[in-house]
Amino acid sequence: MPTLTKPLAADSLQQHFLAGHISSSGRLQALHTRMLQALPDIDRIACALYDASDDTLTTFINSTRNGLPLPAYQFVLADSPSLSALARDSSVRMLDDLPHTLQPTSMHSRWLLDQGYLSSFTVPMYDQRGLLGFIFFDSLRLHAFPEKTQRDLLLYSNLISMTVANEVETIRSLRASTHLACEFAHLRDFETGAHLQRMSHYAKLIAAAVAPHYHLSDEFIEHVFWFAPLHDIGKIGIPDNILLKQGSFNPAERQIMETHVAKGLEIIGKLIDDFGLGDFPDTAELRNIVSCHHELLDGSGYPLGLSGDAIPISARIVSVADIYDALTTVRPYKRPWSHAQAMSELQHMADEGKLDKHCVHALNTMAEKVQAIQREFHDN
C-alpha cells in the first residue's frame, strides 16, 4: 500500500472530513481540494446512494472542478450490468479511455462524454445493511488511474464511505425512533406507514423537478426525502378524540390540533439532542419542514402566518406532497379523490396564492410516476 503525502495522510484531514459542522457536500469538496495536491488529475468526485426498496441509485453529493455536475439523476441499478457486478462482487471498475469504451446508452454515459471526461474509477460503498451506493472518480485525462492512484483512491473512498454511512445511519435511526413513537401513540390508523412512504416519494419527485428553478442540490433533495415522513411527528401529543375525529373540528378542537406543530418541534429538538445532532447542519431543514409545512404562501396558514419566501422551499414541497396524498387516499371522513380531482384542487390553491405553483406543476406533470408510487406503497 503506497504512503500518501503528509498533508493528505494527517489525522487532521480525517477529523475535518468526518466533522459534523459542515454538510456532506462541503466535506467532500474540502477533501477533493486536499486530494488535488497529490492527485491533480481527479476532476470530479461524486456519490450516488442506493435504495434497496426500489433498486434505484440517486445522485447525492459531488465535487466537480470543471464543467457542470449531473443533478437530480436516478436510475435502476439492474439496468447497469457493470455496476450490478461491482455491487455483487465488491470489486472496482477502471475505464481508462471513455470515448472508446463507453456507449452513450444512458443519460449518465452521455453526460460523461459531453463533459469531456476521458477516464473513470468507480468504487462501491457498503454499510452494515449492504450496498450503500457508489463513488465515482472522473478525469479529463486519458489513463488517469494507474495502480498506485487506484490504491490511493481506495483510502479516500473509505473516508467518503464513513461520512456518508454515518449520515445515512443517523437519519435512519432518527426516523425509526419517531416511527416507533408514533406506533406507541396509536397513530398507525391515522398516519400509516404507506402514507409516509408515499408522501416522502412525492416530495422527492417534486424537489428534483423544481431543483433547477430553486437551485437545489442533490443533497438537499435527499434530505427532503429523508425528513418528509417526520413532518407531523407532533401529532403524537394530540388526544385521540381530536386526532381521530370523523368530521370537522370546532374552534377549540382546531386550536388544540394546531399545537401539533409546536409539539413536533419540541420532540425533534429532544431527538436532535439525544442523537448528538446539534452540529449536524442539515437538521435545519428538518426543523423547517416540521415548523412550516402548514404555512400557506398567502399568510393564511399556521402557526406563524408566514407568507411568500419566508416559507422555506422544503416546507412548501412537503406541503404539496402531503395535501395530495391526503386528497387521494381514504380518510375516516372521506373517500379518495382521483388524481385529476386532487390536481384540480391543488391548482386552485396555487391560483389563490396558497401553494407553490412550481411544486404543484411539477407533481401534475409526473402522473405516471405518482401512480407507480401509489401502486408500490398502497394501504392495506
Q: Are 138 and 111 in contact (CB under 8 A)?
A: no
**Which position among 6, 148, 204, 235 bears the catalytic label?**
235
C-alpha cell at 380: 392495506
Q: Is 207 helix (H, G, I), strand (E, B) or coil?
A: helix
Q: What are 298's strand-pairing partners?
A: 307
C-alpha cell at 217: 442540490
Query: Residue 291: which of 303, 274, 275, 278 has the closest Cα?
Result: 303
Query: Residue 268: which of 233, 236, 235, 292 has the closest Cα?
Result: 233
- Beta pairing class for 56-64 and 44-51: antiparallel
For residue 369, indicate whether it is catalytic.
no
> With DSSP H G I counted as helix, E B as strand and the rest as coil, what are the percentages for the chain, rounded to 5?
55, 10, 30
Find all residues with CB under 8 Å of 68, minimum gap 6, and list them: 115
C-alpha cell at 369: 410516476
Cα–Cα distance measured from residue 358 to residue 380, given in angstroms and rounded to the nearest whole number: 32
At position 126, the amino acid (one-letter code) is Y
DSSP tag of 83? H
DSSP tag of 205? H
Sign of CA dihedral 337, 339, 340, 345: positive
Strand arrangement, sheet containing 119-127 = 74-76, 56-64, 44-51, 130-139, 119-127, 93-95
Q: Is 132 helix (H, G, I), strand (E, B) or coil?
A: strand
Catalytic amino acids?
235
